[in-house]
Structures are given as structure tokens and as C-alpha cells.
A and B are shown apart, each in its own frame.
Chain A
Amino acid sequence: DTAVSQTPKYLVTQMGNDKSIKCEQNLGHDTMYWYKQDSKKFLKIMFSYNNKELIINETVPNRFSPKSPDKAHLNLHINSLELGDSAVYFCASSQTQGGKTQYFGPGTRLLVL
């Protein structure tokens, strides 16, 4: 049973397209996150949601919009994709907002051509 799952695993698309990445956790956690891993493998927080409420919104372009339909799901929608959006996007969850341990999904590898 996968604790944190993401779909799709790979996503190849053209510049200017709009795409979504889905994340689901079956751990019963309240808090979910999106991290971006760039081409140099550097990981950085993008968003954090606690019980469907936005907690963190780092300096991410407005083209990125997270949506949490319920506390088990956190989706990431990206408008007008750019070459620089190519990266691996990781979803994670923790038990609570201040939860000490974050559990990561397998990642979604996005390539924008």
C-alpha cells in the first residue's frame, strides 16, 4: 500500500500547455506539501496545505496553483508551462502542521519541450 502516491510519474508536454499533477496520501495526515527538485537536484518547498488550507506559498509564479479538495489530496495545476518548469515535483505529507516527519511520494518528472 503506497502511503503517498503521485500521478503521473512522467509528464512530457509542450511550452504553453496547462497540466496537472495529482497527489494522494492514505496516512490520515493533516498536512501536505509540494516540493520542486531542479536539474541540479536541489529541493525547495513550494506550497504547504493544512487541512485543506494554504499555509505556505513560497515565491512561486502565479502560474502554479495548488488545490486541496480534501485533506488526503493535494493537486498542482500549472498554467502556461515554460521550459524552466522542467523538474521533479515531489508531494509529501506529515501528521500535523508542525509534524516532525514528512513522507514523500515517488515524484513526478515533468519535461517541458
Chain B
Amino acid sequence: AQSVTQPDIHITVSEGASLELRCNYSYGATPYLFWYVQSPGQGLQLLLKYFSGDTLVQGIKGFEAEFKRSQSSFNLRKPSVHWSDAAEYFCAVRNQAGTALIFGKGTTLSVSS
């Protein structure tokens, strides 16, 4: 069955430091992959997506992610974290039928000053 794993439940990063959030997926074919962010009490905002082509994708708010087929990973990165980046981050893969998203359990990012 398809699944998404986000190994880190909670990460704390100092403001200005770099960030990497891990995401691993299980899927037979080329996956459609997404990162969403949920700020406290807010909805889900799409950060970036990967469908095909260049394996390094750029998103909003200075985020990028790299698709690595050999590692079944789609890790999210940001070179310099801002306090406003504190939020819940969800990795997701479109299911095989193309009818829904399968989400990971999320990673909570805290930013310390």
C-alpha cells in the first residue's frame, strides 16, 4: 500500500539556520509529491510539488525540495529559517488512482531565537 513517512515528529531550529525536513514515500510508479504547510489554527497551504522533470523544485517562501528516486525521498529544505516558518509541515503523495492525497503524519517545526 502507498504510504508517506515523515520520520521527524518535532524539529527545533535556530532562526537563521538551515532546515531539512525528511519525507519518504512508498509508491511503484513515478509519484506526484507535495509539501503543504499548516500554520497554527490555519488551513493547508501548498509549498511546492513535484510531478516530473527537474528533481530540484522551488516553492514559495524560499523553500525547495529534492526528489530522489533511489532513496524514495522528497526532502524539504530552506537555507535560512525565519520565526514565521514555525508550523506543521506535511508531505503527501497522490494515490495510484489519482483520486486523493495520502499524507504523512507531519513534522512540527519550532524556531528558536
Contacts and interface: CB of A to CB of B under 8 A. Distances in A.
A90 B44 contact: yes
A105 B43 CA distance: 6
Contacts of A103: 46
Given A43-B90, A100-B51, A104-B36, A48 B46 contact: no
Interface string A88-113: 00101000011011111111000000
Contacts of B43: 90, 104-107
Interface residues of A, number: 23
Contact of B99 (A44, A55, A106): A55
B105 interface: yes
Interface string A32-50: 0101000011111100100
Contacts of B51: 100
Contacts of A97: 98-99
A35 B103 CA distance: 11
Nearest to B102: A45
B105 A56 contact: no
